């Protein structure tokens, strides 16, 4: 019944009852009224619920059972699907669904049976086909019986009657594992089949319990055995590539058919068995070889793989540090390698830097470990590396070094400074560097003033102004000497008797320069006179100073006449004194030359050897030979020929003797004693009273060179003897400062 609440009119309705084929009645209401009128329609329920037709439930179930059978057997359904759906809906609305569910479940239980005896692959294919049919049928059941949860029922039935059967489940999982093992061994398998079956286990919620646990156990067993075997059979680079390939394959399996939840435990298992169990063995067997041969690709792979394993990078870092200490220690502590030590150290540092940057991703821990290792091994042999680094710098800064351009030389100096930083005894470097720098400056052998000053700037930045103050003083002396010589030339021009010898003098401050042993030689009267003139000139400007001539550092340019013509000879002062004798005579013996010049015997023999036995032989020696012996006689070689007008005759340099090296080192040690004494007095003056252990600890903090506790004790005893400090009368281990 309907009413129009807004208008006083009534609408007429007629009820039309249609009978459907399923026996239910459908009622339609047709309303008639004026078009365009706004009405409120109220529909009321039947007072009495319609009843199902007799035998309706039984007839409907027979039709449904036939339809289910047709779906299960993949045949056509002879009933209208809409009619079947409506029938199920009617039964559900009349509370018949529990009975219908039980009947449907029984039909499905009768269907889902798997009893065939097949080989593993055929069994898997049969199982997959059953699963695919079951899924397809369940979808159709869902479409037919939305009121009943067919999908969940289908999954439960398949799980109960198929997968939960121990024999079926075992065979299914065995077959899957067999296929995976075949694939791991390089055979081709049907990945879509594996993906479908593993998806089935996942849908049935038995993937983890029935498959994953066994799969991980088998994987663990397989890779444990494989790791043990391949570590024996293969070298490390090959093994590393194999591990990387295995990890890639397992990741591919996860993408292709394994469940994502398996990824973490699976990859962890592979990494543990192929890497974690063999980290030490891999590094012991192959790290040295990889580093020796500079196998950057394999080293990068090694770092990448070890970064995946717990404790892997820490283990790699320890072996890396030990390798650097061992390899570098061999370079430093092998005297036979002294000649090439510095170059080998530079090459080794470049190599390790490249490995740290390109292979170890600039890992700060590895870079710090490398620095620590370099500092450790380079100080295993005290003083020698510092000495050799100073000599190496000298070889690069000396004139005639055409190995590098200015830019390349600057890069070399930067690399040397990196090695220099690792040295503890930097004062040893300073002593030898100063000695070589003096030679370069005084003999004019410095390749570049800019390069010299650049090196000085680097040393100052690294060690402070105090370290380079004497070196800077040497450069200052050379510049002041140039100014003094300009003034001296002007002074000479004003003299009544100008000299035909052009004199150049370098004024050296004794405290800045290395100490040289004075050597008295017999100079020609012209030179002696010129020396006196300069002495008068200089002391007239700088009263209170004392000049001490160093003939060992002098050199000269002589004009000589040969049959071929005039030449200029660039020679040392000792060579000059020998050659000038042949203005007075034609032939002289070794003894006569020694008496006339006053040159020390060893120095004289080297001088004569350079003039008569070298490339430019301006003197003839009789008898001929490479060495100068007592009784040899020398005469002027008037037939001397050379393509150049100015010829430099190098003095045969006496190789630095062990005594000279020891002397330089002893001077360093002497300076160290003074520094220790000064540090002790400075500390005691400030602290007044201090125990022995605290004093030693403070000294280690202040001193910039390595020192043994025994040496410190000796210096403390020396200061006590000299009354700078005293022991406590009651506590001998306590010191008091004596003002």
Q: Are 271 and 247 in contact (CB under 8 A)?
A: yes
Q: Furthest-apart CA pair in the chain: how many Å?
A: 163
Report d(CA 88, CA 60) in Å as an integer: 8
Report d(CA 325, CA 378) in Å as an integer: 9
Tokens read off for 408: 């390349």
> How many Cβ atoms sit within 10 Å of the Cβ of residue 330?
12
The SS3 of residue 615 is coil
What is each CA distance from 215 to 219, 243, 261, 394, 638, in whole angstroms? Answer: 6, 19, 13, 68, 99
- CA atoms within 13 A of residue 611's CA, in its CB half-sphere: 29
Confidence category of residue 165, pLDDT binned at 50, 70, 90: low
Question: Is 50 exceeded by the pLDDT of residue 559?
Answer: yes
Residue 30 bridge partners (DSSP) = 14
The predicted pLDDT at position 27 comes to 41
Tokens read off for 52: 């199902």
Q: Are 255 and 194 in contact (CB under 8 A)?
A: no
Q: What is the pLDDT of residues 467-522, one digit of tens each?
A: 889 899 999 999 999 999 899 888 888 776 767 788 888 888 888 888 777 788 88
The predicted pLDDT at position 435 comes to 86
Specify the CATH number of the domain 278-463.
Answer: 1.20.1310.10
Cα-based angle 521, 527, 533 (whole degrees, multiple of 5): 120
When mean pLDDT is compared across 28-42, 208-222, 332-346, 412-426, the lowest value belongs to 28-42
* Average pLDDT of the chain to the nearest whole number: 80
Question: Is 70 exceeded by the pLDDT of residue 258?
Answer: yes
Question: How large is the average pLDDT for residues 699-726?
Answer: 82
Question: Is 90 exceeded by the pLDDT of residue 713?
Answer: no
Residues 6+ apart with CB under 8 A from 67: 77, 79, 84, 144
Report d(CA 538, CA 700) in Å as an integer: 46
The predicted pLDDT at position 640 comes to 84
Tokens read off for 505: 């003098």
Residue 416 bridge partners (DSSP) = none
Q: Are 81 and 71 in contact (CB under 8 A)?
A: no
Same topology, domains 85-272 and 278-463? Answer is: yes
Name the nearest CA neighbour of 168 among 205, 130, 199.
130
C-alpha 604 chain-centroid distance? 55
When mean pLDDT is compared across 120-124, 350-354, 356-360, 553-557, the lowest value belongs to 120-124
Q: How would you classify the pairing of strands 646-648 and 565-572?
A: parallel
**Cα dihedral across residues 532, 536, 539, 541: positive or negative:** negative
- H/E segment holding residue 29: strand 25-32
Report d(CA 620, CA 612) in Å as an integer: 6
Question: How large is the average pLDDT for residues 9-13?
Answer: 36
When mean pLDDT is compared across 22-31, 45-54, 97-106, 523-532, the lowest value belongs to 22-31
The segment with the largest mean pLDDT, out of 3-17, 212-226, 385-399, is: 212-226
Question: How large is the average pLDDT for residues 435-439?
Answer: 87
Residue 634 bridge partners (DSSP) = 588, 621
The predicted pLDDT at position 118 comes to 56
Question: How large is the average pLDDT for residues 408-418?
Answer: 90
The predicted pLDDT at position 28 comes to 42
The predicted pLDDT at position 633 comes to 86
- Region of 108 please: left (phi>0), alpha (psi -120 to 50) or beta: alpha
The segment with the largest mean pLDDT, out of 50-59, 106-115, 401-410, 528-537, is: 528-537
Confidence category of residue 299, pLDDT binned at 50, 70, 90: very high
Report d(CA 52, CA 23) in Å as an integer: 7
Q: What's the topology of domain 554-656? A: Ribosomal Protein S5; domain 2 (3.30.230)
The predicted pLDDT at position 48 comes to 62
Name the nearest CA neighbour of 216 among 265, 251, 181, 154.
265
- H/E segment holding residue 732: none
Helix then strand count (H, E) for the chain reads 27, 11
Q: Are 689 and 737 in contact (CB under 8 A)?
A: yes
Q: Are 454 and 448 in contact (CB under 8 A)?
A: no
The predicted pLDDT at position 274 comes to 93
Phi, psi (rounded to 5 degrees) for 568: -115, 130
Question: Is 90 exceeded by the pLDDT of residue 64?
Answer: no
| Helices 341-354 + 384-397 axis angle, to 10 | 90
What is each CA distance from 723 to 39, 155, 675, 717, in whole angstroms? Answer: 126, 101, 18, 10
Question: How large is the average pLDDT for residues 411-433?
Answer: 89
- Quick one: the chain helix, strand, coil %, rounded to 5? 65, 10, 30
DSSP code string of 290-323: HHHTT-HHHHHHHHHHHTTSTTHHHHHHHHHHHH
Q: What's the topology of domain 85-272? A: 5 helical Cullin repeat like (1.20.1310)
The predicted pLDDT at position 18 comes to 41
Report d(CA 280, CA 314) in Å as an integer: 11
Question: Is 70 exceeded by the pLDDT of residue 539?
Answer: yes
When mean pLDDT is compared across 70-74, 335-339, 568-572, the lowest value belongs to 70-74
Q: What is the pLDDT of residues 209-232, one digit of tens each?
A: 888 999 999 999 999 999 999 999
The segment with the largest mean pLDDT, out of 9-13, 62-66, 591-595, is: 591-595
The predicted pLDDT at position 42 comes to 78
Q: Please state, for a pLDDT cut of 90, what percent of the chain lies above it.
A: 27
Phi, psi (rounded to 5 degrees) for 497: -120, 85
Residues 6+ apart with CB under 8 A from 716: 680, 692, 695, 725, 735
Question: Is 90 exceeded by the pLDDT of residue 419?
Answer: yes
The SS3 of residue 647 is strand
Residue 516 bridge partners (DSSP) = none
Name which residue leads in pLDDT, 675 or 305.
Answer: 305
Q: Please state, for a pLDDT cut of 70, what percent of the chain lies above it.
A: 80
Report d(CA 356, CA 363) in Å as an integer: 7
Phi, psi (rounded to 5 degrees) for 622: -130, 120
Report d(CA 448, CA 109) in Å as an integer: 99
What is each CA distance from 154 to 96, 112, 488, 567, in whole angstroms? Answer: 20, 10, 117, 115
Total-model pTM: 0.69
What is each CA distance from 233 to 154, 275, 669, in whole angstroms? Answer: 52, 16, 56
Q: Which residue has the tokens 């050897």?
A: 609
The predicted pLDDT at position 9 comes to 37
Question: How large is the average pLDDT for residues 616-626?
Answer: 82
Report d(CA 219, CA 225) in Å as an integer: 10
Q: Are 433 and 514 in contact (CB under 8 A)?
A: no
Name which residue leads in pLDDT, 15 or 568.
Answer: 568
Peptide bond into 623 cis (omega under 30): yes
Phi, psi (rounded to 5 degrees) for 357: -85, -50
The ranges assigned to domains in the chain are 85-272, 278-463, 477-541, 554-656, 659-737
Report d(CA 325, CA 327) in Å as an integer: 6
Q: What is the pLDDT of residues 185-195, one digit of tens each?
A: 989 989 989 89
| Helices 97-111 + 56-72 axis angle, to 10 | 30
> How many Cβ atoms sit within 10 Å of the Cβ of residue 592?
14
- H/E segment holding residue 188: none
Q: How would you classify the pairing of strands 619-622 and 633-636?
A: antiparallel
CATH architecture of structural domain 659-737:
Orthogonal Bundle (1.10)
Q: Are 137 and 73 in contact (CB under 8 A)?
A: no
Question: Is 70 exceeded by the pLDDT of residue 540?
Answer: yes
Q: Are 692 and 710 in contact (CB under 8 A)?
A: no
Q: Are 589 and 631 in contact (CB under 8 A)?
A: yes
The predicted pLDDT at position 355 comes to 95
């Amino acid at each position: 019944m309907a009413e129009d609440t807004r208008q006083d009119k009534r609408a007429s309705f007629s009820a039309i009852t249609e009978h459907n084929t399923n026996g239910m009645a459908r009622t339609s209401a047709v309303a008639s009224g004026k078009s365009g009128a706004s009405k409120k329609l109220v529909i009321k329920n039947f007072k009495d619920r319609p009843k199902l037709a007799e035998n309706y439930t039984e007839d409907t179930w027979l039709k449904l059972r036939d339809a289910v059978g047709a779906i299960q057997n993949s045949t056509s359904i002879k009933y209208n699907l809409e009619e079947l759906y409506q029938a199920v809906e009617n039964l559900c609305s009349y509370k018949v669904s529990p009975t219908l569910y039980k009947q449907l479940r029984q039909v499905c239980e009768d269907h889902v049976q798997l009893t065939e005896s097949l080989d593993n692959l055929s069994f898997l294919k049969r199982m997959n086909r059953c699963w695919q049919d079951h899924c397809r049928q369940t979808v159709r059941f869902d479409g037919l019986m939305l009121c009943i949860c067919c999908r969940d029922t289908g999954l439960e039935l398949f799980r109960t009657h198929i997968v939960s059967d121990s024999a079926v489940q075992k065979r299914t999982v065995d077959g899957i594992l067999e296929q995976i093992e075949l694939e791991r061994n390089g055979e081709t398998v049907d990945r879509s089949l594996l993906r479908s079956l593993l998806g089935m286990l996942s849908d049935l919620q038995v993937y983890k319990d029935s498959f994953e646990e066994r799969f991980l156990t088998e994987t663990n067993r397989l890779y444990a055995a494989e790791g043990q075997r391949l570590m024996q059979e293969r070298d490390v680079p090959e093994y590393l590539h194999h591990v990387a390939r295995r990890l890639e394959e397992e990741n591919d399996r996860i993408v292709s058919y394994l469940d994502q939840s398996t990824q973490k435990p699976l990859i962890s298992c592979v990494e543990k068995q192929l890497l974690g169990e063999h980290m030490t063995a891999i590094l012991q067997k192959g790290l040295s070889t990889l580093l020796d041969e500079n196998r950057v690709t394999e080293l990068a792979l090694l770092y990448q793989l070890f970064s995946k394993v717990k404790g892997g990078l820490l283990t790699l870092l320890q072996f890396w540090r030990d390798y650097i200490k061992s390899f570098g220690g061999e370079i430093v502590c092998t005297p036979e390698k002294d000649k090439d030590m510095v170059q080998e150290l530079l090459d080794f540092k470049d190599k390790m830097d490249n490995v740290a940057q390109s292979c170890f991703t600039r890992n700060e821990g590895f870079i710090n470990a490398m620095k620590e290792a370099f500092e450790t091994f380079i100080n295993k042999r005290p003083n020698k590396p510092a000495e050799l680094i100073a000599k190496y710098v000298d070889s690069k800064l000396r004139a005639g070094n055409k190995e590098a351009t200015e830019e390349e030389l600057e890069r070399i100096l930067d690399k040397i400074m990196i090695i220099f930083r690792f040295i503890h005894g930097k004062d040893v470097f300073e002593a030898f560097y100063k000695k070589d720098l003096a030679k370069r400056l005084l003999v004019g052998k410095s390749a570049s003033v800019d390069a010299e000053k650049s090196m000085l700037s680097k040393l100052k930045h690294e060690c402070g102004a105090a370290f380079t103050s004497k070196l800077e003083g040497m450069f200052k002396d050379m510049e002041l000497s140039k100014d003094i010589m300009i003034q001296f030339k002007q002074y000479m021009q004003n003299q009544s008797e100008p000299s035909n010898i052009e004199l150049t003098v370098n004024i050296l401050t004794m405290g800045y320069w290395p100490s040289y042993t004075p050597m008295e030689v017999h100079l020609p009267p012209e030179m002696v006179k010129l020396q006196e003139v300069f002495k008068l000139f200089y002391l007239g400007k700088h009263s209170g100073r004392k000049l001490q001539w160093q003939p060992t550092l002098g050199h000269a340019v002589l004009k000589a006449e040969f049959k071929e013509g005039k030449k200029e000879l660039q020679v040392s002062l000792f060579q000059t004194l020998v050659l000038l004798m042949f203005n007075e005579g034609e032939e002289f013996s070794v003894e006569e030359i020694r008496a006339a010049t006053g040159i020390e015997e060893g120095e004289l023999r080297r001088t004569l050897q350079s003039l008569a036995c070298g490339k430019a032989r301006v003197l003839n020696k009789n008898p001929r030979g490479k060495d100068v012996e007592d009784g040899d006689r020398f005469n002027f070689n008037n037939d001397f020929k050379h393509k150049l007008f100015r010829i430099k005759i190098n003095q045969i340099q006496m190789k630095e003797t062990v005594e000279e090296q020891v002397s330089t080192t002893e001077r360093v040690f002497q300076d160290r004693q003074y520094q220790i004494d000064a540090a002790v007095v400075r500390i005691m003056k400030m602290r007044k009273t201090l125990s022995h252990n605290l004093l030693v600890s403070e000294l280690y903090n202040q001193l910039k060179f390595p020192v043994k506790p025994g040496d410190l004790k000796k210096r403390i005893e020396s200061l006590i003897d000299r009354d700078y400090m005293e022991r406590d009368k009651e506590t001998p281990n306590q010191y008091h400062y004596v003002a």
